[in-house]
């Protein structure tokens, strides 16, 4: 996306910077709706950059560890803060926000593909041209603004030998009664099989929490941070 002060969340703006500081470093525009009713929307997501910012947020107030869904609450608070800046300081009114954790469910991967942010691999995973599969999508925001007209990059999977397919076969072979950690291990293997973005892979704690939402892991990680901080 080219920097343009007339577009919401444009690079370098205060609202965009707020998202970047929160670790929500994937921001891509797309059009939603048809014809004259088409509006400007943004798909928001993150690479591994989100994890240390999220942990610092937890460490700043350990009561947050007791929230039912602390990561969802973190994302919602940071997105809403950025949108408040976009409206107050930049004049862009938000018409709708669809988070990955709220109803009705919006196809965020489909939206990210339409925006040219990700491409859909043979496994169904969304693949980023730099970060590979090591990304997560968090929200789609619709603004009261005209739609963008940016072009799309070339699909990163076009030159791939689909080494991810064996990992997909193993995942499909699991029974419906498979343990959560077993299923998580196969989902992780599916991501690891992709050759793109391996240097941007999540660390082990982020990877495990992504699939298990185990708050014991969060508590132990935050406690480890406390002990290591001088």
Cα–Cα dist 115/78, whole Å: 22
Q: What is the pTM of this model?
A: 0.84
Name the helix (H) or strand (E) containing 18. helix 14-21
What residues does each domain of the chain span? Answer: 14-228
Over residues 7-66, the pLDDT tens digits come to 889 899 999 999 999 999 999 999 888 666 689 999 999 999 999 999 999 999 999 999
Over residues 126-171, the pLDDT tens digits come to 889 899 999 999 999 999 988 876 655 555 555 565 565 554 455 4
My answer on whether omega of the bond before 104 falls inside 30° of 0, hence cis, is yes
CA distances, 113 to each of 88, 109, 168 (Å): 30, 6, 20
């Amino acid at each position: 996306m080219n920097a343009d002060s007339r577009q919401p969340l444009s690079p370098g703006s205060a609202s965009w910077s707020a998202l970047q500081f929160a670790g929500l470093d994937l921001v891509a525009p797309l059009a939603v709706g048809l014809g004259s009713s088409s509006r400007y929307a943004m798909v928001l997501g993150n690479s591994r950059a989100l994890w240390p910012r999220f942990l610092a947020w937890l460490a700043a107030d350990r009561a947050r560890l007791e929230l039912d869904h602390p990561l969802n609450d973190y994302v919602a608070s940071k997105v809403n803060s950025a949108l408040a800046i976009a409206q107050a300081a930049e004049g862009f009114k938000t018409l709708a926000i669809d988070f990955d954790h709220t109803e009705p469910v919006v196809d965020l991967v489909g939206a990210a593909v339409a925006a040219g942010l990700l491409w859909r691999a043979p496994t169904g995973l969304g693949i980023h041209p730099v970060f590979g599969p090591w990304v997560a999508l968090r929200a789609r925001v619709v603004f009261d603004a005209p739609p963008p007209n940016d072009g799309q990059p070339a699909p990163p999977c076009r030159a791939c030998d689909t080494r991810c397919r064996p990992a997909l076969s193993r995942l499909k072979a699991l029974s419906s009664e498979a343990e959560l950690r077993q299923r998580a291990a196969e989902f992780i293997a599916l991501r690891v099989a992709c050759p793109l973005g391996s240097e941007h892979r999540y660390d082990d704690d982020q990877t495990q929490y992504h699939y298990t939402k185990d708050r014991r892991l969060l508590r132990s990680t935050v406690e480890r941070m406390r002990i290591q901080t001088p």
